[in-house]
Structure 1
Amino acid sequence: MRTLIKHAVINGRCQDILIQDGQIQKIARGIETAADEEINAQGATAIPGLIDVHVHFREPGLTYKETIETGSHAAAHGGFTTVMTMPNVKPVVDTVDKVAAQVALNQENSLVKIAQYGALSADLVGQGAADLKAMARAGAMAFSNDGHGVQDAQTMLEAMRAAKAADRVISAHLEDDSLIQGGVINAGPTADRLGLPGMTGLSESTQLARDLVMAKETGVRYHVAHISTKESVAQVRLAKQMGLNVTAEVSPHHLFLDDGMIESDNPMFKMNPPLRSKEDRLTLIAGLLDGTIDMIATDHAPHSQEEKAGSMHDCSFGIVGLETAFPLVYTHFVKSGLVDLETALKWLVQKPKEVFGLENAGELLVGDQADIALLDLIHPYQIDPERFESKGKNTPFTGQEVYGKVLKTFVDGNLVYQAKKE
């Protein structure tokens, strides 16, 4: 199968892309060759398919929130061609057999490439590390107890040693349960004004301090999921200066929202970790710019309408992010002039691929797999959850005007998403 994409903009120049059997064969201006399919990009910007190392697709067990199929459609709509799915489904992906079954289920139902996490311990909360080395052989690309902080230090130490032996990354959800105290929003003036229980940032930073000491001892590849506080950024920066093999991700919502923007008891602003202070948010941006934070990941967390209704007291934690991530990053960071598109793609493609060893993800280079997104960077549009492919419509960004609409997405040269004509 030969596909020719004509008149795409790559690095500011009009180029054509020739795809042969799922791989990029040539990128040049004015390619003239026979092709089974020719697509006129009409000046759309071509970028490598994005990579999200932190998503929740909810299948099996929680398919009323999302399925692998709907989640992969949401990914393609957002320009993502590779995602990494967390193990907190039902049953939890915590054994060799469950890893193998989940990998097969992913392959059967997904439009995009999925790399699967395995759990660090049984049912995410059990003491003692799971058999990480065997799960790695069965297809687990990394390990996490996302949704739960590892409360027992010995369990985390065992998991680090096992992950090191298996040459896999540990992605740590940092949360000391003894410091949460029923918090549903960041502790501070906004929580006090709204009469909501606050969640201190110490629940994150104290557990990070513990883990970094053990990461130094074991040499594990240690990754901080959804970093949210200025104290955590400072710790990661120091750990890198000390030569630890430590990386970190930040979510778009922690970059572009803070608790000072929460005007009312609105469930769409409830996520874990919570939106922190403006000072924390600006520190996260600075950490991303100076390389302390390596990448952007969405923590895509779909819920039903009923679960995100009422008060923050009772509703579920989490928001969707796959279909808003790129336009938010492009609008706030690239179009504003803070960084160039190449830098944004480093956070959304190159670093995720490098840190997690995702060798089958393309980077829009000759010889790579043809994972490509075509974008309209010129015309603004408003974020509308009713147009999401995800089952989840839970986002605080409804109505925001953004740039960077995804027009087409290709995985291994196959068209998996095409924007509807308006």
Structure 2
Amino acid sequence: MRYLHIANARVINPQTQTDEITDVFVADGRIATLGRRPDAGEIEHTIDATGQWLIPGLIDLGGHLPEPGYSQKGSIASETEAAARGGFTHICSLPDTKPVADTSAVVKLILEKASKAGFSRVLPLGAMTQDLAGEQLASMYTLSEAGAVAMSNARRPVRNSYVLRRLMEYAATYDIPLFLNANDLSLSDGGCMHEGPVATRMGLPGIPETAETIALAQILLLVEQTGVRAHISQITCRRSVSMLQQALENGLRVTADTPLANLLYTHEAVTGYDSLYNVQPPLRSERDREALVQAVARGELAISSNHSPHEIAAKKAPFSDAEPGMSQYDAFLPQAMTLVSREELTVEQLVRALSATPANVLGLSQSLTEGADFNAVLYDPRDEYTLTASEMASGGHNHPLLNRTVAGKVAQVFLEGCRIC
């Protein structure tokens, strides 16, 4: 047996509440031993990880891949490479491609291209409705058989409560998880930022919190009625956190995540009409941001990327006309570590929200324990660099840290023992 030896790493594993400096030995893609040399075999390669952190690989519960259909924004290869550089071993791709991921052929194409690229593993989300139109149910069972891990309608609306109920009943029959976005289009349509004093001062159309909370109430009531496994994607409001807490207390099969941008920024960032901060769902108030951070700290929310790469022209329009979204994969982990440097989250809480919690949503195991697949990130908190467009892997340069100094760097990423970054 030949081993990869990672020496003197600070191993942080939220699932076992481990935080210690130790050695890790890897063979055949799995962790053979922790803290002790194997009884037999030889060391093929040693990595001196002194001063570096070894954490479970990050899992993203929702990112936009521009392929197929939007080659001007990037490709599956470019975005999965960017994801790997950000610390992700697995990413859930949203179905709003062109054509939409509502057939097994599109799902298989995405999987084939991701496998050929050889970076982060893509876990496709299939479309809940045909062409994401919110009217006719897609063949969710067929999509699941083709490799889709769950179903989503991205942020596209479902026509009415009756259709949503039928979607849930269909999914519940086959125990297919649904990724649902809480967004009442009749309240949010035409809005481009959080409805509040900043939007009023800037003369921009707002999106009220009730656009999320009314839709969330509808979803939770139908989840209770149908018994479907539901994941609420990208919540942004303090009131939504309270509603989810009550749903969990009532025994509903629900989980949820929030985008990293909503943990780092508020609607105040829009001041100056910087279209970089035109995102959907919108950045909310400081009170909302604090409630989301506290929910992450309690283990109630996962953190997702909501990665949305765009070409320059898409973001150069006036604020309300610019395409919403941020490119997030490059430098994702160092950016997320800002929450630790602010002392709003501990390292263990952050890593849990980026690995163990999303793994539980997907029914995966992501842990640094003996016998587990070696899906891991070596992170160097001492490194520092400037993120430039030429160094980014993503085709979208609409990144909040572009041309800024980044504190901390992903040194290496491993997927089932193979280095992908």
- TM range, smaller chain: over 0.9
Instruction: For 1:339 and 1:186, locate their aligned partners in 2 and report how far apart those are by CA, in whole Å.
Output: 25
Q: CA deviation at 1:319?
A: 0.4
Per-residue Cα deviation, 1:61-86 (whole angstroms, up to 9, x for no partner) = 11221211111111111111111111
Maintained 8 Å contact 2:182/2:219: no
Give the 3 Å change call, closer, same or farther, for CA 105–217 of structure 1 in structure 2.
same
Q: What does residue 46 of structure 2 align with?
A: 38
The CA distance in 2 between the partners of 1:35 and 1:378, in whole Å, is: 27
The match for 2:55 is 47
Alpha-carbon distance in 1 for matches of 2:113, 2:291: 39
1:102 offset after TM fit, Å? 2.8
User: AA paired with 1:267?
Assistant: S
**TM-score under structure 1 length normalisation:** 0.92
Q: Work out whether residues 68 and 110 of structure 1, in 8 Å CA contact, stay in contact via their aligned partners in 2.
A: no
In the aligned structure 1, how far is the partner of 2:134 from the partner of 2:343?
Answer: 47
> What's 1:17 paired with?
24
Report the Cα distance in structure 2 between the residues aligned to 1:310 and 1:210, rounded to whole angstroms: 35
Name the structure 1 match of 2:343. 337
Gaps of 5+ in 2: 13-18
Moved over 6 A (4+): none
Q: CA RMSD in A?
A: 2.0
Work out the CA distance in 2 between the residues paired with 1:326 and 1:305: 24
> Which letter maps to 1:312?
F
CA gap 1:363/1:384 in 2 versus in 1, 3 angstroms: farther
8 Å contact 2:59–2:359 — kept in the other structure? yes
Is 1:85 equivalent to 2:93 in the alignment?
A: yes
| Alignment check: 8 A CA contact 1:148 1:174 kept | no
Structure 1 segment 285-324 matched on structure 2, within 5 A: 285-291=293-299, 293-324=300-331
Whether 1:413 aligns to 2:414 is no
1:373 is the counterpart of 2:377:
yes
- CA positional deviation for 1:402: 5.0
Q: Which amino acid aligns with 2:11?
A: I
Q: 1:9 to 1:283 in 2, by over 3 A?
A: closer
The answer on whether the counterparts of 2:95 and 2:127 sit within 8 Å (CA) in structure 1 is: yes
Gaps of 5+ in 1: 418-422
1:306 alignment partner, SS class: helix
Instruction: Give the Cα–Cα distance (whole angstroms) in 1 for the partners of residues 259 and 134 of structure 2.
Output: 27
- Report the AA paired with residue 43 of structure 1: G
Query: Hey, what does 2:242 align to over in structure 1?
Result: 234
Q: Deviations over 1:370-414 (max 9, x none)?
A: 111111123455554543211111123446655431111111211
1:350 maps to a residue whose letter is A
Match of 1:96?
104
Contact preservation (8 Å) 1:386, 1:393: no
Contact 1:186 1:199 in 2 (8 A): yes
Q: 1:105 to 1:367 in 2, by over 3 A?
A: same
Q: Which moved more, 1:91-100 or 1:80-89?
A: 91-100
Q: Which amino acid aligns with 1:3?
A: L
Matching residue's letter, 1:355? V
Aligned residues: 413
Offset, 1:314: 1.3
1:4 is aligned to: 5
TM-score (norm 2): 0.92
Q: Distance in 2 between matches of 1:318 and 1:196?
A: 17
Percent identity reads: 30
Q: Deviation digits for residues 201-240 of structure 1, max 9, x if unmatched?
A: 2221111111111000011111111101122222112111
